[in-house]
Amino acid sequence: MRAVIYARFSSDNQREESITAQVRACSEYAKQKGYHIVKIYADEARSALTDDRPNFLRMISDAKLGLFDIVLIHKLDRFARNRYDSAIYKRELRRCGVRIESVLEQLDDSPESIILESVLEGLAEYYSRNLAREVMKGMMENALQGKHNGGLPPLGYDVDPETKKLVVNESEARIVRLIFELYAQGKSYNDIISALNQYGFKTKKGKPFGKNSIFEILRNKKYIGIYIFNRSAPKKEGKRNHHLTKAPDEIIEIPGTIPTIIDEELFWRVQSIMDKRKRNRASNKAKTVYLLSGLIYCGECGNAMIGDSSSYLTKKSKEHKKLYYYTCNYNGRTGQCNSQKVRKELVEEFVLKQLRERFFAEKAIPELAEKIYSSFTSQKKEMGKEVKYIEKELKETGRKIANLVNALANGASTVNSIVEQLKLLESKKATLEVQLQEWYLKLQDNIVTKDNIIAFLKSKKEQLDSNDPVALKSLCQEFIDKVTVNNDKTDVEFKITVVIDGGGGGN
């Protein structure tokens, strides 16, 4: 049976098993069961409460390609601490013919095991939510007292070291006032940034202002004395909704706990202007997806081509219609290129036709799978060099850790600094160990097969046949290296070259 290992180390409890320990336990379990480990997925310092686990989601995606039969986890709470998510993802895996096995919780398909699994998942969820509640309780108390809850204070404020409350920094507050005043006068973000640069003003981190930093300042209610807490929750409707709610899943707003920098009337006038501009942008936002953005170049001057459009009045219906093009960016800026614009749908249809014929035709998929498989086989010869490099890095990291431990044992004066360095090195060591074990697996076993590659390519063919612009653009980015448009022909360069009998060339 083909198995993969999923390991996760959460930052909320430093006593939990490390990723390395989880992988080791799962590997021993697999050996006892006679399972064949084909891949290791690991997420560091992430909570199982959320889907913010890229390798976990990658594992779920890979399951759909039939790459493995079993997911090994050290404990059930490594998979998910939320019963809803656990049920959803287990169902996803079951649909793919994949089952989950826990090293420490030996469960089968009996009714007793199903009940036990539910109990264990419930306890894990309780633990996680209870921990979050306790953390929230402490931060809530800080919010009620108007104390800063950590992190860099907003521009215009400092944190009083004794009271832990925000106090006005007048030298920065004048920058905030200028930003609000300029925006209220109808200035754009670029106008405001230009004015700030003229004065030499910088952000709280000492960097030049950008559109995002201006936006965050203009939307920050702290400037009118409202303490905002738990901002990751969905925002409430209504601009003057200042009431306090203790529900942990909602935004908490406490008025009168922070010294004000901006007059309320000016603040809400700015909010009104921002909302109006947002609505206008939404109504005018282009819905056209240019599939070849970043890939298409002018054959005359070699510069990039960009999406463009123009309107014309129809003779029959007297309605305005739009035509979409790719046009040379350099020619548009300077007028010094003789290239002509090319119709969007024509060049995109040509490129997609090339993709379909070269990669996803009935004869093309086996040919491409063979080429990819041969490339993988050749790469295996180079894998030994990567293993030696990681082994060297791991050895050097271990040496540095040992030196720091010795320094602590000998009474080094910079204890805090050494401890921080140790944390970073231990994290690096854990990552290297996981990488090394994956490379060992790649060297020992043939984890990539032609059948797997064919299944992958067929999934991409479905993407090509979907006619979904976003999916098609992603596919172009994946397979196409460059599209060059001359006035008389179009050349397509693919990232992979496959020679197929009867295949046509770009023209």
Helix, strand, or coil (residue 341): coil
What is the structure's pLDDT at 264? 92
What is the structure's pLDDT at 163? 84
pLDDT tens per residue across span 436-445? 776 776 666 5
What is the structure's pLDDT at 381? 66
Q: How would you write 76-128 as a 3-class SS string?
A: HHHCCCCHHHHHHHHHHHHHCCCEEEECCCCCCCCHHHHHHHHHHHHHHHHHH
What is the structure's pLDDT at 506? 39
Strand order in the sheet with 305-313: 305-313, 320-328, 342-343
All domains of the chain, ordered by start, with CATH?
A: 2-136 (3.40.50.1390), 157-284 (3.90.1750.20), 296-353 (no CATH)
**HSE on the CB side for 268, CA within 13 Å?**
6
What is the structure's pLDDT at 502? 37
Phi, psi of 40 (to 5 degrees): -120, 125
Q: Low-confidence residues of the chain, pLDDT below 50? A: 11-16, 46-51, 81, 83-84, 108, 110-114, 116-117, 120-121, 124, 232-249, 499-507
pTM over 0.85: no
How buried is residue 251: exposed, middle or buried, by Cβ count under 10 Å (0-12/13-18/19+)?
Answer: middle
What is the structure's pLDDT at 168? 93
